[in-house]
Amino acid sequence: MSKPGNTIDHTRTVPPATDEFVKGLWRDNPVFVQVLGMCPVLAVSNTAINALAMGLATTFVMLMSNILVSLLRNFIPKQVRIASYILIIATFVTITDYAIQAISVELHKSLGAFIALIVVNCLILSRAEAFASKNNLGRSILDALGMGVGFTFALFCLGAVRELLGNGSLFGAAVFPAGFQPWIVMILPAGGFFTLALWLLIFNAAKAKTATP
Amino acid sequence: MSTEESLWNIFINASLVNNFVLAYFLGICPFLGVSGKLETATKMGGAVMFVMLISSMCAYGIHHLLIAINAPFLELISFIVVIASTVQLVEMFIKKMSPALFRSLGIFLPLITTNCAILGLALFQTNKGYNFGESLIYALGAGAGFTLALVLIAGLRERLGLAEVPDVVKGTALTLFIAGILSLTFMGFAGLGGQ
């Protein structure tokens, strides 16, 4: 373990606060590395705009619940903490659900039940349990923002690829010339599995390359 | 539409045509997590099915109660509380009846609470306006579909354990590829339940 080349040991020293933000973007990316919160990732990534909306909604819920959990971390008894976290998350999801409905009924329809299902996104609960319940407010906010941006980025990666190949468009605007035959399979459920598998492959390959130069 | 649907159609629709895992992407976490062994997968499917049945019954009651007291915004919170308590019940039951199974399911047992398939089921049946009997059949179909998908993928993964796979593909990526192919196969059921 203790190779002379490795000078900085990240686990021992307290990392700088900015690190909490950066780690969610790439090193601990919630989708590609931790493989958490898969259900919405696969289900609503059929178009780029849906993916972005879902990512933002999740980020908002994660931010708010991280803030509340971090503030209440000394008051919530250990035995009922998971139940309390879920209640906190469910409250913010209800708020988000009604807010999206008020902003755009069309978007609400295309996301369907998946807004309500943010409650059971394991990513949010895992951040509350693993991070916000042990860290102060500032760090928790940075952590939620970093993870949220990382999650949105991953969703967008999937959504863009699936819309581009399955529909020949990006954000609803046609990209390919008229002769392009859309790959219908990409917007079907199977396409979601394949696209995510391919992205994971790319990530794994990239990691393997950096590990053995 | 829902009044014309026969109970059989609801069952076929929930289990095969619109399979919760392969068409709606619900319950992916246990699908990827507990599908390594055939035996564990079967029992996990049973546990999920039981929780689905109970929470479907409760969700039906809660929905009508909340409409009666004019507080629909409490729906989501009440659903998740009911599901969490049911899971707790199942957990205590399994721990008492079969400690070995309890150990092999591990962390994934309490995580049934955050299994989107169960909350999704409660939400879908309310959206579709099913009556009590239809809700029960819907829950049964969804549970059967979930178990079927889990068992199929577990069988495939057990077989693939013997195959030579490049290192980069191993793990989640490989499982996702199989799931994609399985999902394509399930599209063959389209139209079976008379929409």
Answer for the pair A54, A182: CB distance below 8 angstroms, yes or no. Answer: no
Nearest CA distance, B110 vs chain A (angstrom): 10
Give the tens place of pLDDT for each residue, A151-197.
Answer: 999 999 888 888 888 888 887 777 777 777 788 888 888 888 999 88
Q: What ipTM was predicted for this assembly? A: 0.81
Contact list in A for residue B181 (CB cut-off 8 A) is 190
Domain ranges of chain A: 17-205
Answer for the pair B138, B126: CB distance below 8 angstroms, yes or no. Answer: no
Q: Do A87 and B23 touch (CB under 8 A)?
A: no
Selecting from A83, A116, A189 the residue whose C-beta is nearest the C-beta of B183 gives A189
Which H or E run contains A173?
strand A173-174
Contacts of A13 (CB under 8 A, 6+ apart): none
Quickly state the pLDDT bin for B2 (edges 50, 70, 90).
very low
pTM of the model: 0.83
**Count of A–B CB contacts within 8 Å?**
112
Rounded to an integer, the average pLDDT of B44-72 is 89
Give the tens place of pLDDT for each residue, A186-203.
Answer: 888 888 899 988 988 888
Q: Do A116 and B177 touch (CB under 8 A)?
A: no
Higher pLDDT, B20 or A3: B20
Q: Do B123 and A201 touch (CB under 8 A)?
A: no
Which residues are bridge partners to A189 per DSSP?
A: none
Q: Do B25 and A192 touch (CB under 8 A)?
A: yes
Q: For chain B, where are the alpha helices, taking DSSP H only?
A: 7-12, 28-33, 38-68, 75-97, 99-105, 116-128, 132-160, 172-186
What token pair was written down for A47? Answer: 């178009």
The pLDDT, as a whole number, for residue A212 is: 64
Query: Which B residues 174-193 touch A at CB under 8 Å?
Result: 174, 176-177, 179-181, 183-184, 187
Residue B126 has pLDDT above 50, yes or no: yes
Cα-Cα-Cα-Cα dihedral sign, residues B109, A122, A192, B2: positive
The Cβ of residue B72 has, within 10 Å, a number of other Cβ atoms equal to 12
Give the tens place of pLDDT for each residue, A104-160.
Answer: 888 888 887 888 888 888 889 888 888 898 888 999 999 999 999 999 999 998 888
**Chain B contact for A194 (CB, 8 A cutoff):** yes
